[in-house]
């Protein structure tokens, strides 16, 4: 079974039809459903996504995201070790715009051998991850 990580940018773009990444995000989620992909995200992405979706699109969008998209994902919880690795990765990289959430996501993806991500974030591409 194909395993694909989902980032906040993928969740958000699916919900916002005006987002430039919307067609790719929509295609990714539809293919995931059709081809029975295992979708993975983290509790940090959940927190970040909830905040962004609620602020920009409102509560109806949060409900849609939670019930239609997030419910299809396995949520990996960031423990102390992953937290420390993410913190170290961010501090070492010192790249403006590279978030702590992105850093912990990259570590989760590497540990699980996940190479594909529904995201438009350039940081994932720089690390060698690709769209499915």
* 3-state secondary structure at position 130: strand
pTM, full prediction: 0.95
Q: Give all domains of the chain, ordered by start, each with its CATH number.
A: 3-126 (3.40.50.1010)
pLDDT at 86 over 90: yes
25-73 tens-digit pLDDT? 999 999 999 999 999 999 999 999 999 999 999 999 999 999 999 999 9
pLDDT of residue 97: 85
Residue 6: count of CB within 10 angstroms of its CB: 27
């Amino acid at each position: 079974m194909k395993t694909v990580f989902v980032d906040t940018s993928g969740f958000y773009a699916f919900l916002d039809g005006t987002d430039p990444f919307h067609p790719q995000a929509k295609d990714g989620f539809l293919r995931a459903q059709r081809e029975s992909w295992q979708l993975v995200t983290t509790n940090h992405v959940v927190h970040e996504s909830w905040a962004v979706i609620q602020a920009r699109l409102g509560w109806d969008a949060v409900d849609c995201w939670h019930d239609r998209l997030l419910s299809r994902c396995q949520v990996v919880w960031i423990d102390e070790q992953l937290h420390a690795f993410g913190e170290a990765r961010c501090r070492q990289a010192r790249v403006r715009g590279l978030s702590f959430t992105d850093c912990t996501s990259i570590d989760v993806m590497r540990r699980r051998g996940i190479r594909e991500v529904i995201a438009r974030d350039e940081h994932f591409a720089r690390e060698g991850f690709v769209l499915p």
